[in-house]
Amino acid sequence: MGAVTVPTPAEIERAAACLRRGGLVAFPTETVYGLGAHATNADGMERLYAAKDRPRSHPVIVHLAHAEQVDDWAVDVPLGARALAAACWPGPLTLVLRRSGRVPDAVTGGEDTVGLRVPDQPVAAALLAAFGDGVAAPSANRFGRVSPTTAAHVRADLGDHVDMVLDGGPCRVGVESTIVDCSTDRPRLLRTGAIGRDHVEAIVGRRVVASVAASDADADAPRAPGTLPRHYAPVAALEVTTRDRVAGHAASLRGAGRRVVVLDAPTDPQEYGRVLYARLREADAPDVDVIVAPLPDIADQVGVGAAIVDRLRRAAHP
């Protein structure tokens, strides 16, 4: 990894001013790059959805500089959520809470809840502190594409649709935040991330139900695109298997005339998480029919390892 030139204080100020004018600023977080807009600016939010080509009914996460700002955005915050915020923020955790009166519908997709997160990344922290208010930010990719983990990915996906891209180098975690819905009496895990379910359960001191694939059959399932069976999708087909079977599987596909790339996947789960989306983008070339990716070893399928399994399985969903 080369040296990273971080944005200057003057650039951070320009970015904050841009958000105040209703502009769009892409910025790094520890998970993936976000596409930011001032959460309470109607024009900014309209531009955000247009740039991402994202359905207006899909809620976005509001990013905050400090945990103390939670009470500006949420009401009836339960003790379990306070404990999660205290233990994990700043960090790769999003809390879904009952929204306060100042949260516009554009942020929540009409739900009566809001997703909040305090990211753990110096450029994000500087931007949020300079701006002072909530920044609505989905991942800075076009809808349905893998999330960007470098500034170059953002430019490739969004180009002219974004006013500024703050470059903070490659993201440290590389997969999206863990989402815990604390808006009802039963905490639910809506998305796995680097903070694993067992960790969440230890902090809240109770079992946390995992809420999987939203479907019409599940009436109270949240409208979360990350929870659709297929969402993180390369153009080539993706097939996943255990590491010991990857070479044999690739050989048999080649034998059948398919053009195959084996995903260059580190064995260390943290490292795998960091590079997963970049390697998927690289592998997803026009002359490739199938990408074959190894799952993390069973023993590593906790925390970020579990999140990698989740993202790979969704991307592999036919």
Question: Binds 162, which of ligand TXA, Mg ion, none (CB < 5 to 8 A, cut-off by type)?
Answer: none
Q: Rounded to the nearest 5 degrees, what angle is found at the Cα of 192, between the Cα atoms of 121 and 52?
A: 65
Q: How far apart are CA 72 and CA 102, in angstroms?
A: 8
| Residue of 19, 25, 29, 172 interacting with ligand TXA (CB under 6 A) | 29
Region of 26-34, 270-278, 281-289, 295-303 interacting with ligand TXA (CB under 6 A):
26-34
Torsional sign, CA 228, 139, 47, 162: negative
Region of 53-61, 212-220, 237-245, 303-311 interacting with ligand TXA (CB under 6 A):
53-61
Q: Cβ-count burial of 49 within 10 angstroms (0-12 exposed, 13-18 middle, 19+ buried)?
A: buried
| Residue of 7, 59, 80, 296 interacting with ligand TXA (CB under 6 A) | 59
Q: Does 31 bind Mg ion (CB under 5 A)?
A: no
Half-sphere exposure of 78 (CA within 13 A, CB side): 16
**DSSP secondary structure of 44-81:** HHHHHHHHHT--TTS--EEE-S-GGGHHHHEES--HHH
Comparing CB distances to Mg ion, the nearer of 34 and 269 is: 34
Q: Does 225 bind ligand TXA (CB under 6 A)?
A: yes
In the structure encoding, which two tokens stand for residue 46, read together? 């309209």
Q: Does 96 bind ligand TXA (CB under 6 A)?
A: yes
Q: Does 176 bind ligand TXA (CB under 6 A)?
A: yes
Q: Does 162 bind ligand TXA (CB under 6 A)?
A: no
Q: Does 138 bind ligand TXA (CB under 6 A)?
A: yes
Residues 94-153 touching Mg ion, rule: CB under 5 A, are 139
| Residue of 74, 125, 179, 238 interacting with ligand TXA (CB under 6 A) | 179
Strands 61-63 and 188-191: unpaired
Q: How far apart are CA 188 and CA 179, in angstroms?
A: 8
| Residue of 18, 37, 61, 290 interacting with ligand TXA (CB under 6 A) | 61
Q: Does 234 bind ligand TXA (CB under 6 A)?
A: no
| Residue of 222, 296, 303, 305 interacting with ligand TXA (CB under 6 A) | 222
Is there a contact between 48 and 60 (Cβ–Cβ < 8 Å)? yes
Closest CA to 160 of 39, 53, 24: 24
Q: Does 116 bind ligand TXA (CB under 6 A)?
A: no
Sequence letter at residue 113:
T
Q: How far is the CB of 293 from Mg ion (least distance, A)?
A: 19
Comparing CB distances to ligand TXA, the nearer of 60 and 291 is: 60
| Residue of 69, 94, 121, 150 interacting with ligand TXA (CB under 6 A) | 94
Q: Is the peptide bond before 90 cis (omega within 30 degrees of 0)?
A: yes
Q: How far is the CB of 291 from ligand TXA (least distance, A)?
A: 22
Q: How far apart are CA 250 and CA 264, in angstroms?
A: 13
Question: Binds 239, which of ligand TXA, Mg ion, none (CB < 5 to 8 A, cut-off by type)?
Answer: none
Q: How far apart are CA 190 and CA 31, in angstroms?
A: 16
Q: Does 118 bind ligand TXA (CB under 6 A)?
A: no
Q: Does 177 bind Mg ion (CB under 5 A)?
A: no
Q: How far is the CB of 257 from ligand TXA (least distance, A)?
A: 36
Binding site for Mg ion (CB under 5 A): 139
